[in-house]
Amino acid sequence: MNRILQDLVNLLDIERLEDNLFRGQSRDLGGRSVFGGQVISQALVAASRTADDISQPHSLHAYFLRPGDMSKPIVYEVDRVRDGRSFTTRRVQAIQSGQPILTMMTSFQHDEPGLEHQQPMPDVQPPEKLRSARDLYDEWIQAVPDLPDRIFHALTRELAIEFKPVVPWNPLAPEVKPPQQKIWFRAAGTLPDDPMLHRCVLAYASDFNLLSTAVRPHGRTWFDEKMTIASIDHALWFHRDLRVDDWLLYSMDAPTAQGGRGFNRGLIYDRSGRLVASVTQENLMRETG
């Protein structure tokens, strides 16, 4: 496990203040505010610590209400909405300076058998035959003189998650492309055999790259100073057990954009082709200049 992944594991080990009250810290990933995936994953940890040990989360639905301040801790307040025989429901508020920055509902379920089917995994090159995003960024940066510090640090910062795009797309020289992308990803090291931890790290990773899908057909990126691009909401369904420290394929598309908003969808498969999770997200993509 690399140093940054260990830091993420530590970041997810949030502090318990009271039975239903927790506190987490933040890390700067080069954006203008707290990374949304961090808040979602910490909120999921908070909810899980008020549920029984035999339940696993199967879905979460979150709204981003305000930008988070990376210099301040985040307090997570959990409402124990329902404890049923099969399903457990929790509401979580993430709070900074007395104001909610995120509200989230999440549901847990005891494991049970049932009918199964799934959409097949796309036929793509395996990760071993693809270049890493880090190698691609290093190459693209060399071609851009006087790159702003914020963008340089965002692209060169060491991350807890590794990425390998199936078809690379250079955010420093964006081309108009269809609103689709496929990216292999995994945790940058081996994680403990804790199913809850793997789901929380997947929740963290699911917020990378997704919103950029909707801006591809417009030749824009989140680096564009004339655009305001941010997540509005995020929903995630866990379908099957998974390991996030082995390669997972994130297959994304954005079927529509309108009214200053883009709508993004993602299917996450493991290497054997099992569909392990699905994601949807609406994002703000407002022209400001």
Taking the C-alpha atoms of residue 226 and residue 158, their distance in angstroms, rounded to an integer, is: 27
Beta bridge partners of 183: 165, 250
Given 55, 181, 206, 231, which residue is catalytic?
A: 231
Q: CB neighbours of 113 closer than 8 A, spacing ≥ 6?
A: none
Q: What are phi and psi of 267, to 5 degrees?
A: -115, 135
pLDDT value of residue 32: 79
Query: Please, what are the domains in the chain?
Result: 3-110+130-287 (2.40.160.210)
Question: pLDDT class for 173, splitting at 50, 70, 90?
Answer: confident
pLDDT value of residue 26: 94
53 tagged catalytic: no
pLDDT at 30 exceeding the cut of 80: no
Q: From residue 17, give the alpha-carbon distance in Å to each of 14, 59, 88.
A: 9, 25, 22
Q: Average pLDDT, stretch 93-97? A: 97
The chain-wide mean pLDDT, for the chain, equals: 94
Residues 204-233 pLDDT 10s: 999 999 999 999 999 988 788 888 899 999
pLDDT value of residue 289: 67
Taking the C-alpha atoms of residue 166 and residue 196, their distance in angstroms, rounded to an integer, is: 28
Given 107, 206, 207, 245, which residue is catalytic?
A: 207
pLDDT at 1 exceeding the cut of 80: no
Q: Alpha-carbon torsion 227, 230, 235, 239, what sign?
A: positive
281 tagged catalytic: yes
Residues 226-278 pLDDT 10s: 888 999 999 999 999 999 999 999 999 999 999 999 999 999 999 999 999 99
- Cα 134-14-104 angle, rounded to 5 deg: 85
Residues 107-125 pLDDT 10s: 999 999 999 999 999 999 9
Q: Label the pairing between strands 180-187 and 248-258.
A: antiparallel
- Classify 85 as helix, strand or coil: coil
6 tagged catalytic: no
Instruction: Give which of 66, 75, 67, 68 is closest to 22, Cα–Cα.
Output: 75
Amino acid at the residue 90: R
Higher per-residue pLDDT: 221 or 48:
48
Burial of 240 (0-12, 13-18, 19+ CB in 10 A): exposed
Burial of 19 (0-12, 13-18, 19+ CB in 10 A): exposed
Residues 2-17 pLDDT 10s: 899 999 999 999 999 9
Higher per-residue pLDDT: 155 or 107:
107
H helices, E strands: number in the chain: 6, 12
